[in-house]
Amino acid sequence: MDALPPELIHAIVGEIGEVGSLKMCSLVSRIFLESCQKTLFRSLTIADDHVESSTLWSRLQESPHLGRYVESIVCIFPQPNAPNAELHALCGILDHLTNVRQCVLVGDPELEDLYHWRDLPTQFSAAIVNLIQRLQLSQLHVFSIASLPGDILTMFFAAAPTLTFLETSVDPMTTADVVGPSLLTLRNLAIACSPSIANVLTSPRCSPHVARIRKLWVDDASSRLISTMAQNLQHIRIEPDADKANLADFPPQLPCLQSSEIALNFDQRDSPLFITILSSLAEAASSTLEEICVTYAPLYISPLDSSLAPQTMVAVETAIVGCGGVPRIRWRLDVSRDREEFFNEFSVCLAKGMSKLHKYGRLIVERYSSDDEGMFSWVEQFSR
């Protein structure tokens, strides 16, 4: 068995998905140990569980090499009154990680309100800053953290080429500390429920430095971010919000846009806002657009009506056919296999209602699974 080539060992271990089985496999023979450890430690969740954090910290002290196997972490912030022993273990774990590429920072989900950065224990915030500054991250995702100081926001801007802010805000008293040139390495940005950070990005201090951002995900079709980045955007994903339906500031031209995605609930399929956004995208990127994708949220209960209104299909086809290029439109449904009839009825409806697009192969209807795609599937799409 010792003569097995490394490629075969990695392939065998790669077929083992369950943690308990991986641990058992690592004990079968030493030749499996390294591959099993790399798989077991590839992703870590670091939280304020005293027993788990202490156990992991002890393990890293005994076997420091395990720290370089960790490529992805989810770090849930400890409570402000966390015991010193627990904080010591958490900080020790962070200090031993040397190869992290994807980092997710999450405010304490147990709190009723958002976690404020100023409430972080000093030693833990220092460990986070040290982690971000010394690693070469490819992705940083910041969730549910309020009142980021301007210098911390600047650090986040420069931390990774792909960056997410969800339910995150900046301390209004420190926005003057944000340094615009820190944005020069940022290529892909997702921002939702974070209006104060969007305002910083569109401010005179920062707007000249966001030109290199190529891919954008926003929850507001009227966001000034779209206009600020319009000249270089290659991909945009919009999740329409009926309460933010003013498209007066939508850019008349998106000269580099190649693809766009509109994500919405199925019951919004005939909404005027959907038509307006789709038409605006098609018109603004008439000559460069290759695809518009319409992704519906998972359908756990099939609606009685699986069709689009005739006027919706006419408007969509008119917008797509009117483009200078030859873009296709892709419709994505998350429906279970036992709803075959619903999916087929929807597909037939689109084919009949948009016959020109269907005839020339520019109409695609497909299934997807939100479970298979996972939370950060859009990151993979961004990276293509």
Span 96-147, pLDDT tens digits: 999 999 999 999 766 677 899 999 999 999 999 999 999 999 999 999 999 9
Estimate the share of the chain in helix, then strand, then coil, as percent rounded to the nearest 5: 45, 15, 35
The lowest-confidence range among 90-94, 234-238, 240-244, 360-364 is 240-244
Band (pLDDT 50/70/90 cuts) for residue 324 is confident
Q: Is residue 233 within 8 Å of 253, Cβ to Cβ?
A: no
Q: Is residue 69 within 8 Å of 99, Cβ to Cβ?
A: yes
Q: Rounded to an integer, what distance in angstroms lies between the CA atom of residue 247 and that of residue 10? A: 52
pLDDT number for residue 158: 95
The lowest-confidence range among 19-23, 195-199, 224-228 is 19-23
Band (pLDDT 50/70/90 cuts) for residue 377 is low
The lowest-confidence range among 145-154, 294-303, 346-355 is 294-303
pLDDT number for residue 176: 87
pLDDT number for residue 4: 61
pLDDT number for residue 5: 59
Digit-coded pLDDT (tens) for 1-53: 456 656 566 665 555 655 555 566 555 566 666 677 777 788 888 987 766 78
Q: Rounded to an integer, what distance in angstroms lies between the CA atom of residue 241 and that of residue 245? A: 7
Average pLDDT estimate for 323-338:
88
pLDDT number for residue 40: 75
The structure's pTM equals: 0.88
Q: Residue 279: pLDDT above 90?
A: yes
pLDDT number for residue 269: 92
Nearest C-alpha neighbor of 274 from the set 323, 324, 311: 311
Average pLDDT estimate for 58-70:
88
Q: Residue 174: pLDDT above 70?
A: yes
Q: Rounded to an integer, what distance in angstroms lies between the CA atom of residue 228 and that of residue 9? A: 50
pLDDT number for residue 25: 59
Band (pLDDT 50/70/90 cuts) for residue 384 is low
Coil, helix or strand at residue 178: coil
Q: Rounded to an integer, what distance in angstroms lies between the CA atom of residue 232 and that of residue 243? A: 27
The lowest-confidence range among 250-259, 302-311, 373-382 is 373-382
Q: Rounded to an integer, what distance in angstroms lies between the CA atom of residue 96 and that of residue 67? A: 5
pLDDT number for residue 118: 93
Domain residue ranges in the chain: 1-40, 218-384
Strand partners, 72: 43, 102
Q: Is residue 193 within 8 Å of 169, Cβ to Cβ?
A: no
Average pLDDT estimate for 186-214:
91
Q: Rounded to an integer, what distance in angstroms lies between the CA atom of residue 345 and that of residue 365? A: 11
